[in-house]
Amino acid sequence: MRKHITGFSNPTVKYLRSLRDKKHRKRSGQFLVEGLRLLEDARSTGRLPATLVMAEGRAAHQLLARLEADVVAAGGEVIATSPDILSKITGKDNAQSVVGVFDEWDTGLAALDRSAAPIWLVAQALRDPGNLGTMLRTGDAVGAGGLILIDDCADPFSAEAVRASMGAVFTVPLAQARWDEFLPWLREGSGQLLAASLRDAVPYRGAAYEAPCFILVGNESQGLPQEYEAACDLRVTMPMRGRADSLNAAVAGAVLAYEVLAGLEG
């Protein structure tokens, strides 16, 4: 059964709106997913929103009807409201006609199984949520075991990261850890830590990659701390033919990931 909300000052509206802030997401353990396409991606991987918020007065949509039925069957809540209130919740003038509220999941290192995949992505202090989502999307494409976020990264559950991931946030396992948790965890088992570097490095093309290979990408403006680079098992350089000495972080991670994929399967 649908619950109808008509008032802008309704506490549920206020709560949903608060989920745009990282602070409130952390407190509540929930996040917003905007749009039927992303919600369908989630559904197809077995994840359903705890709450579905739909705009009233839109034409009926078969996929949306199925999603609503699934949410109800799973004991979730369905809220119908006006397009204006939906816009207020998402903060966008042209809001999607549906928003889902998901429970965040466990992002501890302990949940990862390093034998599950030959490639892993690791990002350090990645600040741009678009880059973070793009890395998730790349992780999906190369069959990565997961994306491990080190130190103070953008929130993978922000609307921008979820959108840039094109649904990969639901398929690529995520972990969040400090460097001094990650490194001991890595060294407990097998795993090659790899980074692009200008120091003491070999050409990235055809380097001696070993599975499971953990591809470490540094912060957008600072790159990796020297100490982190030094802890790597393999440092590689990529051709830089122009004036700049670095690539966009998500691009660098992807070029490396595709090279590692080719190397491990070669």
Q: Which of 71, 7, 77, 88 is nearest to 36 (CA)?
A: 71
Binding status of residue 202 toward a copy of itself by CB under 8 A: no
Pick from 7, 29, 91, 143: which binds a copy of itself (CB under 8 A)?
143
Pick 13 or 168: Cβ nearer a copy of itself: 168
Q: How many CA atoms lie within 13 A of 219 on its CB side?
A: 13
Residue 24 CA to its chain's centroid (Å): 18
Among the listed residues 78, 166, 183, 201, the single contact to a copy of itself using CB under 8 A: 166
CA dihedral (143, 134, 253, 191) positive or negative: negative
Which of 47-55, 61-69, 103-111, 250-258 is the region at the interface with a copy of itself (rule: CB under 8 A)?
250-258
Q: In the complex with a copy of itself, which residue's Cβ is closer, 30 or 131?
A: 131
Q: Does 45 bind a copy of itself (CB under 8 A)?
A: yes
Nearest residue to 104 (alpha-carbon basis) of 147, 156, 163, 54:
156
Cβ closest to a copy of itself, residue 132 vs residue 153: 132
Question: Is residue 212 reached through a cis peptide bond, with omega within 30 degrees of 0 on the bond before it?
Answer: yes
The correct pick among 25, 43, 137, 163 for binding a copy of itself (CB under 8 A) is: 137
Contact pattern for a copy of itself over residues 4 through 43, marking x by CB under 8 A? -------------------------------------x--
* Cα distance between residue 209 and residue 120, in whole Å: 12
Taking the least distance from each CB to a copy of itself, the nearer of 70 and 220 is 220
- Tell me if 138 contacts a copy of itself by CB under 8 A: yes
248 binds a copy of itself (CB under 8 A): yes
C-beta of 15: minimal distance to a copy of itself in Å?
A: 27
Report yes or no: 122 and 182 within 8 Å, Cβ to Cβ.
yes
State the minimum distance, in angstroms, from the CB of residue 147 to a copy of itself: 12
* Residue 239 interacting with a copy of itself (CB under 8 A): yes
Say which residue the tokens 């998901």 belong to: 102
Choose the stretch contacting a copy of itself; rule: CB under 8 A; options: 21-29, 145-153, 182-190, 245-253. Answer: 245-253
- Contact between 217 and a copy of itself per CB under 8 A: no
**Which residues of this protein are in contact with a copy of itself, per CB under 8 A?**
41, 44-45, 130, 134, 137-143, 164, 166-168, 171-172, 205, 238-244, 247-248, 250-251, 254-255, 258-259, 261-262
